[in-house]
Amino acid sequence: MIKRTIESLVSRYAAEYPAVTVLGPRQAGKSTTVRKLFPHHFCANLEVRETRLLAETDARAFFSMYPPPVIIDEVQLVPDLLGEVQAMIDANRRENGQFILTGSHQSVLSSAVSQTLAGRTAIADMMPLAMDELPKADWALPTDELMLRGFMPEIVAERKNPPEFYRFYYRTCVERDIANFVNLRYKSRFEKFMVLLAGCVGQLLNLSSLAGDVGVSSTTLEEWLSVLEASYICFRLRPFFSNVSKRMVKTPKLYFHETGLACHLLGITTPRQLMRDPLRGNLFENMVVAEAFRRRTNAGKEPDIHFLRTSKGFEIDLAAKRPDGGTDLCEIKSAMSFSRALTANLDTYLAKWDDGQTHATLVYDGKTFTTGNGVRCVNFREWRLP
């Protein structure tokens, strides 16, 4: 079993709060991890039809069968159950770690939790594996194989075939979750939208343009995308506002939490095919940005990562505030060999707008060193965002 970085955070939360809510995409390892951490808790999986019906129709009978301390998987399927959880916590407020809740739909569960369990639960986001969670042999895999395979614990631990895994993952998880929350009258159009989204990774997202290609309104696409984000399929990176210019773009960029799923949607099935694909650089950028997202959530922090782009097209791929008040700026390139062109935008920023608190980094697939201009060049496997 792969040890997860977030285990210590969840254990600490359970020692300090009556309930812990673990959110994240399906098959990211939530259930496996909490059952490992709390082996003496009862376990109730609301995806089991009989268990879900009992929770829906008779909450008290449900908790007679599954009394605290208890793990309740996919609790967003019966959000009304949280009212009974609240009452039980309030009746025994000094007992921490009574309820361990997991869920894979952020907006539904977050709304229910904020209304009923405010001040009673800690919330942890559990994403697919980060680079430092990979077994040593997997950490050293060729870059294209890493991107194609992705970082789902099951595919890493059980050595499953990536194209098959993500084909089944899409059909059993993505389509099912979307059908639960969105009225998909046009299933084929939604599938087309998913493919087009995969082709947009690392680029400015223009839903109005995509609406014409898909054949539905941009309002409908916004609804679909919001559900995809809430289900931890993809996420939008918002622009970072600094002193570079008042004319900063407001359009977000689009990334998938799993490059393996993006590759599946693009029809990429082998590392050799990926190596030659025109979107390889975008998928590499996606992998690095998703890694930054995972590392921050693993530490119990908000991701709080952005990109920087002016209306004239000057862009830096990743921007984030540092704990010391400075700014991290990162250019992300898939190249294996260094050239000055790779750091051109960072060099321009440092020359024109640096306030003395900018930490400039090139994240790429080459050797780690520091340039004469003060830009750190770091191999993506060794890179850490504070």
10-residue mean pLDDT series, the chain (386 residues): 93 97 93 97 96 95 97 92 94 92 80 84 94 91 96 93 93 76 76 95 96 94 91 92 60 96 97 97 98 93 92 91 91 97 95 90 96 92 92
One domain, residues 230 and 257: yes
Whole-prediction pTM value?
A: 0.93
Q: Do 95 and 211 have their domain in common? A: no
385 within domain boundaries = no
Structurally, the chain folds into a number of domains equal to 3
Residues 148 and 261 in one domain: yes
Name the domain boundary from 275, 300, 325. 300
Q: Are residues 265 and 357 in the same domain?
A: no
Residue 356's pLDDT is: 87
pLDDT value of residue 63: 96
| Same-domain status, 197 and 236 | yes
Q: Which helix (H) or strand (E) holds 234?
A: strand 234-239
Query: Is 273 found in the same domain as 182?
Result: yes
- 330 in the same domain as 213: no
Residue 219 is assigned to a structural domain of this protein: yes
- In which domain, by residue range, is 91 found? 7-125
Domain harbouring 247, CATH code? 1.10.10
Residue 2 resides in a domain: no
In this prediction, residue 101 carries a pLDDT of 97
Q: What is the pLDDT of residue 318?
A: 97
Q: Are residues 150 and 295 in the same domain?
A: yes
Same domain for 266 and 214: yes
Per-residue pLDDT at 111:
74
As a whole number of angstroms, the distance between CA 101 and CA 23 comes to 8
